[in-house]
Structure 1
Amino acid sequence: MESKLYRKILIATDGSESARFAATAGVELARLIGAKIQAIYVIDIFAYSSMPQDLKWEEAMYAQSRELGREAVSDVEKEAKDASVEVEALILEGHPAEEILDFAEKQDIDMIVVGSLGKTDIERFLIGSVSEKVARNAKVPVLVVHSKSL
């Protein structure tokens, strides 16, 4: 069954357990409706901006983030290919929620799939939640998958 409503699904991953659950749900949904997947990982280049750092430390953190990103999108690619779902994987840089939303709009994404870490109210207030920001600001439907739900 091919959906006319959801042709392109964006799976945003950070490599966490909840993101892997979300990827599984997104891949299965794409398989069932005949959609294509775009898998992205966003390197948060602002995460350490308030910390004093030297160039070597910054390069090491960036390299580590790129490697984590490659692993995260590779996991989604493998799962999609195993399910015979067309997939394209990319690594972006910036604020994760903003990059996810911007990418979705520019690429005409029909649905966004993200994982939720299930942060407490205090954690969300202090540091925010990427999935919450995406769900609140997206112009397309957002499926937020909690790791406990699968």
Structure 2
Amino acid sequence: MQYKKILVPTDGSDVSIEAIEHAVSIAKTTGAEIYGVYVLDTTPYTEIPADGLWSNLKEILEEEGDNALHLVAKAARKYDVSFKNQVLEGNPEKEIVEFSEKIDADLIVMGTTGKTGFDRLLLGSVAERVLKHAKCPVLLIKQKE
């Protein structure tokens, strides 16, 4: 399979960094372009009034996103891989799937914590929902134990 566009959703976590490394390695081999994406998850904050408090919280989340996407840029530059970064806002799995379709991604590479049992039932998994709804292949990188 020849990949041209690889989407790498990141939140800056250790497992996201591992996913970035895998994506960059694949891109280096295939000549693909990396699309780093950070989703500002606004779903828990829908009840917060749109005043100074939300503005401050949004600034903090945007800074986290910038830091996470900096890791994509750093890895891509290190291996001379072309990349573009994008901050999105909304429900993470929905935004990731929609963005993958918008850019016509050939592959999504993302980390998963590998939660099982009650934790998985309670929290669900963004990666699992992306895997279920994405129209392109999804490579899940499991967190090292």
SS in 2 for 1:39: strand
The RMSD of aligned alpha carbons is 1.6
SS in 2 for 1:119: coil
Task: Structure 1 unaligned segments of length 5 or more: list them.
Answer: none
Correspondence for 1:140:
136
Letter in 2 for 1:78: K
Correspondence for 2:84:
88
What is the CA-CA distance between 1:47 and the residue it aligns to?
Answer: 2.0
Aligned with 1:44 (options 23, 41, 50): 41
Letter in 2 for 1:133: R
Letter in 2 for 1:20: I
CA distance in 2, matches of 1:91, 1:100: 11
Percent of pairs identical after alignment?
38
What is the CA-CA distance between 1:54 and the residue it aligns to?
Answer: 7.2
Deviation string 1:46-94 (CA, Å, 9 cap, x unpaired) is: 12335x6673321121111000000101110111011000000010001
Aligned with 2:13 (options 16, 37, 47): 16
- Whether the 8 Å CA contact 1:8–1:111 is kept in 2: the answer is yes
Aligned residue pair count: 145
Correspondence for 1:35:
32
SS in 2 for 1:139: coil
For the pair 1:115 / 2:111, whether they are aligned, the reply is yes
Letter in 1 for 2:3: Y
TM-score (norm 2): 0.93
Correspondence for 2:23:
26
CA distance in 2, matches of 1:63, 1:99: 19
